[in-house]
Amino acid sequence: MDKMTQELHDFLLQHVSEMAQEWLDSREIEENSVYTADASSEVTEYLREQNHYFTRTIVHVLKDGSFKKLSGWAQEIATKRAHLGNPLYQSIRHFKTFRFIFFKRVEAFIDLHQSTIKQRDILLWTKTLNEAFDKMIELFTMYYGQVAEAQVYAQKMIISELSTPVISISDTVGVLPLIGQIDDYKSNDFVERIMMQAKDLELSCLVIDLSGVPSIDTMMTNELFQVVDMLDLLGIDTTITGIRPEIALTAVQLGLDFTKIKTYGKLKDAVSDLLYER
């Protein structure tokens, strides 16, 4: 590392605390966010420490040009942000804000040493430090995505492992409430358990409630119809409830045919009629 790069390295480390405070002062009120300006003093100090470590890690790249040490910070903080449920865009916005603060200090150093700094030095520093920021954001995004995907997978496993997906409400009538995208239930094991449970409960009718399904497409509807056909082979009638207006509109636009299946707007209406009939 040449003399001027060493001086820039040392200058930036001397201003770590000032940069962290400027970043903390730039925060705004953000609901349900670790970055919110009205966070507790404990959270603020926690963010300050993280920022100090982040800055030192970025500055260290000037010394050896290596990005190897960036991964540790990115993985640790991205994992914490994902577990807290902070949206990724918030973290990216704060990366952007701090980059601006950081490069103001680089500009201040250049202004102090205009007579001795060469143009190629400025270009090299700008390239190296911007690459360090970009690499950190890339790593942060990657690790955040990995944790988020793992959380979604865990949630799906919880849904999949529910011991009683079919709720028996009488000797012959059961209810299957679906939540989320129908595609989330696209599993032979899930469908098989529905069939087995409906048969074991000796149901003559299964009500599939779509109140918790936000949207539907042709592929998802085909999955639903396959379940209906399989139930029919077992001698079990199917009733569908809770078709939301947006789903009904999509069904019409896609030309989907629900006419062969008994439908109700509300689950309670279907249950009332079915229990009365039986």
The whole-number pLDDT of residue 210 equals 86
Same-domain status, 137 and 178: no
Q: What is the CATH number of the domain that holds 223?
A: 3.30.750.24
Task: Write down the pLDDT at residue 205.
Answer: 93
Over pLDDT 70: what percentage of the chain?
87
Same domain, yes or no, for 108 and 216? no
Number of continuous H segments (helices) and E segments (strands) in the chain? 10, 5
Whole-number mean pLDDT of the chain? 87
**Same-domain pairing of 60 and 121:** yes
Whether the Cβ atoms of residue 36 and residue 27 lie closer than 8 Å to each other: yes
Indicate which CATH number applies to the domain containing 77. 1.10.490.10
> Is the domain of 100 the same as that of 11?
yes
Last residue of a domain, one of 139, 159, 179: 159
Tokens of 83: 């577990």
CB 42 within 8 A of CB 50: no
Q: Ramachandran region of residue 124, left (φ > 0), alpha (ψ -120 to 50) or beta?
A: alpha
What does the block give as tokens for 203?
């149901």
191 to 108, 111, 134, 178, 239: CA distances (angstroms): 65, 69, 45, 12, 16
Residue where one domain finishes, among candidates 159, 181, 198? 159
Choosing from 159, 187, 208, the residue where a domain stops is 159
Count of domains in the chain? 2
- Check whether residue 92 and residue 226 sit in a common domain: no
Shared domain check, 227 and 104: no
Domain around 236: 167-277
| DSSP E strand boundaries for 119-196 | 167-168, 173-179
Nearest to 177 by CA among 260, 254, 256, 266: 266
Are residue 88 and residue 216 in the same domain, yes or no? Answer: no
CB 34 within 8 A of CB 81: yes
Instruction: Tell whether 137 and 173 lie within a shared domain.
Output: no
pLDDT digits (tens, 9 = 90+) for 38-53: 999 999 999 999 999 9
Q: What is the pLDDT of residues 228-264, one digit of tens each?
A: 888 888 899 999 998 877 777 767 776 766 777 888 8
**67-121 pLDDT, tens per residue?**
988 999 999 999 999 988 889 999 999 999 999 999 999 999 999 999 899 999 9
